[in-house]
Amino acid sequence: MYNLLKGKRGIIFGALDSNSIAWKVAESAHAEGATFVLTNAPIAMRMGEINELAEKTGSEIIPADVTKLEDIENLIEKSVEILGGKIDFVLHSIGMSVNVRKKIHYTDNNYDFTHKGFDISALSFHKVMQVLYKKDAMAEWGSIVALTYMAAQRVFPDYNDMADNKAYLESIARSFGYFFGRDHKVRVNTISQSPTATTAGNGVKGFSGFINYAEKMSPLGNATAQECADYTITLFSDLTKKVTLQNLFHDGGFSNMGVSNEIMAAFEDQE
Ligand SMILES: NC(=O)c1ccc[n+]([C@@H]2O[C@H](COP(=O)([O-])OP(=O)(O)OC[C@H]3O[C@@H](n4cnc5c(N)ncnc54)[C@H](O)[C@@H]3O)[C@@H](O)[C@H]2O)c1
């Protein structure tokens, strides 16, 4: 380890179980010397294993439903108190689509479900940043990261309304990131991660085809959850101070590929 986050204070959203990307980020942030608060929706706490992670990393847990401003306000006030100062890093690692969960086709989306998924997956990023900004809770040269997926730019038919949520999320990172940078020297970025076998990932229809295809298309293979955590730590560290308003692909090269030899081989000699 490199002590990259020594003395830094953070808030980590979205650790549900040991497969969660946020779980790996918490373990790595702890190993790099950070202290942080863990948070998740109250319902996820009951089903999840977050207590184990809190014990392991010496963290406190503060429940917050990210659709509720009062929950976010309470979380941020208490975090500053518990951690003893302003926040240096925030991870938004949250996604949920009711249409995906209920296997409702994109062309048949139920708009109540669309609203709910949008509120949780995209608007929540604005809400978290608005509360941090208004409370002046971020330290100068702090870093805010949200996780996203390339369906924001390209068509992946079974990603459903999450594709639209991710496009909005990435736009919020740029729009809010401008004001956070200008007024508080805080950077805001999204990491566009490879398909990863987590609760959210596995919920996408045809996920095994999806993940295997990406593996064969990417010169370096898919990025794992741990590799995503490693990359996230660099964005929280002082080594990336001038990186902001970016959507950063962390996908083994997938996003710049047209086709790979392995994929071509599967289609050769077909009429
Ligand atoms: N798994 C993948 O293939 C993949 C690929 C690219 C990006 N991502 C993104 O990574 C992020 C983390 O997902 P993951 O793959 O680790 O899955 P995960 O299921 O472990 O994490 C999703 C988290 O969102 C939380 N959440 C849902 N509703 C909430 C609410 N109302 N309030 C607060 N938290 C809530 C869940 O409790 C859970 O902890 C998501 O943004 C996801 O879209 C995942």
Domain ranges of the chain: 9-267
Is residue 241 part of an annotated ligand binding site?
no
- Per DSSP, 260 falls in state -
191 is in an annotated binding site: no
Token pair belonging to 5: 């986050």
Residue 149: active-site member: yes
> What confidence score (pLDDT) does residue 89 get?
99
CB atoms within 10 A of CB 141: 13
Q: In this predicted model, what pLDDT tens digit does every residue of 178-222 receive, in sequence order?
A: 999 999 999 999 999 999 998 888 888 888 888 999 999 999 999
- pLDDT for 128-150, tens place per residue? 999 999 999 999 999 999 999 99
Ligand 1 pocket, CB under 6 A:
14, 16, 20-22, 40-41, 44, 65-67, 93-96, 120, 147-149, 193, 195-196, 198-201
Q: Which has more pLDDT, 205 or 110?
A: 110
Residue 62: CB atoms within 10 A of its CB come to: 18
* Residue burial 98-112, b: 16+ Cβ < 10 Å; e: rest: bbbeeebebeebeee
CATH class, 9-267 region: alpha beta
263: CA distance to ligand 1 center in Å? 29
Residue 263 annotated in ligand binding: no
- Enumerate residues 6+ apart whose C-beta is below 8 A from 179: 133
Lowest mean pLDDT across 4-13, 45-54, 152-161, 240-249? 45-54
Q: Which of 96, 100, 208 to mutate to test the pocket of ligand 1 (most atoms within 8 A of CB)?
A: 96
Report which DSSP code applies to 258: S
Q: What is the pLDDT of residue 271?
A: 64
149, 178, 213, 231: which one is catalytic? 149
Gap from CA of 265 to ligand 1 centroid (Å): 34
